[in-house]
Structures are given as C-alpha cells and as structure tokens.
Amino acid sequence: EVQLQQSGAELGKPGTSVKLSCKVSGYNIRNTYMHWVNQRPGKGLEWIGRIDPANGNTIYAEKFKSKATLTADTSSNTAYMQLSQLKSDDTAIYFCAIGLAIWGQGTLVTVSS
C-alpha cells in the first residue's frame, strides 16, 4: 500500500521559513511527480507546484515562485517543501501528493508572531 506521511504542524513567525517533509512508503518517488497543494482556512485547493525527484526539475505556479522551494531525496524517498518569508496569508494546510492521485494527510502551517 502506498502511503504518504507528512511532518507535523508548524508554527512560524512572520519573516521566517519552514520546511515540510513528505515521506513516501510503498512506491519509489523516482517514478512519479510529487505535487504540493495548499488549502487556506475554509477555502479551496491551490496547486503550488511539482518536482520530478528523478532529476530535481521543478515547476511552480506563478504566485509561489518566490515562496516555495521543492526538493526531494530519493535515498530516503522523501519530498520537501520550504516556505520562505512567511506571512499571515501563508497560514494553511499543505498537502503533498503522488501524481495528484494519492495524498498525504496534510501539514498545518500557522504563521503568527
């Protein structure tokens, strides 16, 4: 069974960075794209970007190009997303997903001073 285990909730101060992880079991991430999606409180889904773990190539939605940095470690079968220069508007649940077909449980990021 394929499972995605995301890291725990984060509380970040404005202007700082956080790095989220998404560990995959039951599937080799080299064989897929890893996507990241967010959901602000009470709102819809927003596609952030995706990484090809086999070569590190990334694509970002325009509004996240200076906000998110996607990386992957194929040796540990884990994908990462760093969010920089945190603002209150970044408060959201962040999901990772294999090919947008199998999703992690989400990580809540709260930005507050």
Partner 1 sequence: DIQMTQSPSFLSASVGERVTLSCRASQNINKYLDWYQQKLGEAPKLLIYNTNNLHTGIPSRFSGSGSGTDYTLTISSLQPEDVATYFCLQRNSWPMYTFGAGTKLELK
Q: Is 106 in the site for partner 1 (CB under 8 A)?
A: yes
Nearest CB to partner 1, comparing residues 8 and 44? 44
Q: Which amino acid is at 110?
A: T
Is residue 8 within the footprint of partner 1 (CB under 8 A)?
no
**Residues 19, 30, 100, 112: which binds partner 1 (CB under 8 A)?**
100
Q: Which of 27, 103, 108, 110 binds partner 1 (CB under 8 A)?
A: 103
Give bridge partners of residue 15 from the DSSP assignment: none
Q: What are the residues whose beta carbons fall under 8 Å from the beta carbon of 96, sequence distance 6 or more?
A: 4, 6, 20, 22, 34, 35, 36, 79, 81, 103, 104
- Tokens 């649940």 correspond to what residue? 93
Rg (CA), the chain: 13
Residue 27 in contact with partner 1, rule: CB under 8 A: no
Stretch that binds partner 1, among 12-20, 65-73, 75-83, 95-103 (CB under 8 A): 95-103
d(CA 85, CA 64): 12
Give the interface with partner 1 as residue ranges (CB under 8 A).
33, 35, 37, 44-47, 50, 59, 61-62, 95, 100-106
